[in-house]
């Protein structure tokens, strides 16, 4: 359903430097699969999501949605493509037009892309809003009259009303209160049942959410995917030291045994000055001088649909913990 090959997204700066936001990313999603893309702020995960729909232009590489080459699509082709691929943004308030009622906001995509009008249009919009837990009394309200969770339900309804094949979710719960997050996650979990053919790229920094919703996970650091594989395998046996550090920082109840905390030293380097060799070596607890600081690692296959970009991916388990 989605194939990304060798994707680069670089932003030139006025001082002559280049921000390498995405650097050689390759990722594939099968029909009906939900894949999580995780990493720290600034890792490039949101840029990947936006570039998939050409909201940001790629510098190089290939993106295909189904049989459509996204980078080569004409304006007419993009309009057709965006019926099949939709995005849900992080901040629902900024995503909605304050001058439109929520009924009109959801109907707009149908008006622009289909021949539905009148009662048929009204019924379809009303049905999908009600399926998101927004009954008729909400339909003619404006965004400022809704709570954050209700706004995000409207954004989900707006994305789904065209029956897309691919859905990109850019941290759809991070701007919401914790109790509201749980409600929205329940809505998204239900989509796995009600729309089993829907393919989802779920972008988040919350590993617990990824484990709850996704089939596979890809971990990004400084514009590169450093580990990828089935969710349970990666969470139970991470092979990249960065993945191990992220998982060790996940809060767990006191009664649950957790792995020892791995504390990374230093800050994430600037994407305008990425270190030579392995980009993670400046913070890595198992980095070896002469190898990690000079030789860029290539992805190491660890099994079906499993890989890690580390020189020591075959034997990192248990290494580097306090």
| Strand duo 306-308 + 224-230: pairing | antiparallel
What values do phi and psi take at 213, rounded to 5? -110, -25
Over the stretch 66-86, which tens digit does the pLDDT of each residue have? Answer: 989 999 999 888 888 888 999
- The rounded percent of the chain whose pLDDT value lies above 90 is 73
In order of start, what are the domains of the chain with their CATH numbers? 2-315 (3.40.50.300)
Percent of the chain with pLDDT over 70: 95
Bridge partners (DSSP) listed for residue 218 = 37, 228
pTM: 0.91
Average pLDDT over residues 284-291: 92
Dist CA 276 CA 35 (whole Å): 29
With contact defined as beta carbons under 8 Å apart, do 106 and 150 qualify? Answer: no
From 1, 5, 53, select the one nearest 198 (Cα to Cα).
1
Residues 6+ apart with CB under 8 A from 148: 92, 93, 175, 176, 177, 180
Contact 270, 43 (CB under 8 A): no
> Dihedrals φ, ψ of 301, to 5°?
-70, 130
Q: Is the pLDDT of residue 98 over 70?
A: yes
- The span from the CA of 188 to the CA of 156, in Å, is 9
Q: How confident is the model at residue 104 (pLDDT cuts 50, 70, 90)?
A: very high
pLDDT digits (tens, 9 = 90+) for 187-210: 999 998 999 999 999 999 889 899
Q: Which residue has tokens 């989605």?
A: 2
Give me the long-range contacts of 183-191 (CB less than 8 A, separation at least 24). Answer: 183/149, 184/149, 184/152, 184/153, 184/156, 185/209, 185/212, 185/213, 187/132, 187/133, 187/153, 187/156, 188/156, 188/213, 189/213, 191/160
DSSP H helices, the chain, are 45-52, 75-84, 92-95, 102-113, 118-131, 148-160, 178-194, 207-213, 231-236, 241-248
* 257-271 pLDDT tens trace: 665 778 788 788 899
């Amino acid at each position: 359903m989605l194939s990304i090959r060798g994707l680069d997204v670089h932003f030139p700066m006025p001082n002559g430097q280049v921000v390498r936001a995405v650097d050689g990313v390759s990722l594939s999603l099968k029909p009906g699969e939900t894949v999580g893309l995780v990493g720290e702020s600034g890792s490039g995960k949101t840029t990947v999501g936006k570039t998939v729909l050409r909201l940001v232009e790629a510098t190089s590489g290939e993106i295909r949605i189904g049989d459509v080459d996204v980078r080569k699509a004409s304006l007419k082709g993009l309009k057709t493509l965006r019926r099949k691929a939709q995005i849900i943004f992080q901040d629902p308030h900024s995503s909605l037009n304050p001058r439109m009622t929520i009924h009109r906001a959801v109907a707009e995509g149908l008006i622009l892309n289909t021949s539905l009008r009148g009662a048929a249009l009204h019924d379809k919009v009303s049905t999908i809003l009600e399926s998101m837990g927004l009954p008729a009394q909400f339909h003619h309200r404006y965004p400022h009259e809704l709570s954050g969770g209700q706004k995000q339900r409207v954004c989900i309804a707006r994305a789904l009303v065209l029956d897309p094949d691919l859905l990109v979710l850019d941290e759809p719960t991070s701007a919401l209160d914790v109790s509201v997050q749980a409600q929205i996650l329940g809505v998204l979990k239900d989509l796995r049942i009600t729309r089993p053919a829907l393919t989802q790229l779920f972008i988040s920094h919350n590993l617990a959410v990824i484990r709850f919703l996704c089939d596979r996970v890809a971990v990004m650091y400084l514009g590169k995917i450093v580990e990828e594989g089935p969710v349970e395998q990666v969470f139970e046996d991470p092979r990249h030291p960065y993945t191990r550090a992220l998982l060790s920082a996940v809060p767990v109840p006191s009664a649950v045994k957790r792995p020892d905390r791995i504390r990374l030293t230093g800050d994430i380097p600037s994407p305008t000055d990425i270190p030579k060799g392995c980009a993670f070596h400046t913070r890595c607890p198992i980095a070896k001088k002469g190898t990690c600081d000079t030789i860029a690692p290539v992805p190491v296959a660890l099994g079906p649909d499993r890989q890690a970009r580390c020189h020591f991916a075959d034997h990192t388990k248990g290494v580097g913990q306090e």
